[in-house]
Amino acid sequence: MKNPPLHLASEIFPTLSDGQGPLTAAHPLEGDDQLLDAYSKTIAAVVNRVAPSVVNIRVQSDARGQGGGSGFVIARDGFILTNSHVVQGARELEVTLHDGHVAPARLVGADPETDLAVIRIDAGDVQHVRLGDSSRIRVGQIAVAVGSPYGFQQTVTAGIVSALGRSMRSES
């Protein structure tokens, strides 16, 4: 049985413009199921496209013990972009690729101010993503985050770009 489409709460939109009463599952907006299906297919396509480049990073440090985070391969010769806080103080780094292959990694550089870091694995021709042009991002666009935190593969969430040009204070 096909799942019924989701609908906005009637408290937000109390009545339909055609006067047929509150917006509920009994009164769906025409085309809702097609819109939601298209949205779902778009998210799934993004995940299928980038997931092979998403990695899990295991970190061993003297100060924090064992930890980890996510990253993604940005060059076929094994360069990986991650967060600086993930690799901070690392004594040992290990990367698990999408296919389950595990490789030791080394820190190439980190910038705590922007919370970005680059690590590298010695692997030939790994699946990578191409960085986009951030100047093309617009408020209201859909944003999809694909990660591998805590060793979970394919953690996905989606949202809306709510603002541009905001910055946050860093610890430093």
Q: Quote the CA–CA distance of 148 and 96 in Å, as a whole number.
A: 9
| 137-171 as b/e: b if 16+ CB within 10 A | eeeeeeebebbbeeeebeeeeeeeeeeeeeeeeee
User: What token pair was written down for 46?
Assistant: 């993004």
Who contacts 25 (Cβ-Cβ below 8 Å, separation ≥6)? Answer: 4, 7
Distance CA 142, CA 157 (A): 11
- pLDDT band at residue 171 using 50, 70 and 90 as cut-offs: low
**73-102 tens-digit pLDDT:** 999 999 999 999 999 999 999 999 999 999
- Please indicate whether residue 16 or residue 161 has the higher confidence score (pLDDT): 161
Q: What is the mean pLDDT of residues 142-155?
A: 84
The string of pLDDT tens digits covering residues 7-35 is 444 344 444 445 555 545 555 556 678 88
Weakest-pLDDT range from 7-16, 106-115, 137-146: 7-16
Q: What is the pLDDT of residue 26?
A: 52
pLDDT of residue 51: 92
**Token couple for 4:** 């019924």
Among 55, 38, 58, 69, CA closest to 126: 55
Residue 11, both tokens: 């408290």
Model pLDDT for residues 31-72, shown as the tens digit of each residue: 678 888 888 999 999 999 999 999 999 999 988 889 999 999
The pLDDT value given to residue 152: 74
Q: 47 φ, ψ to 5°?
A: -60, -45
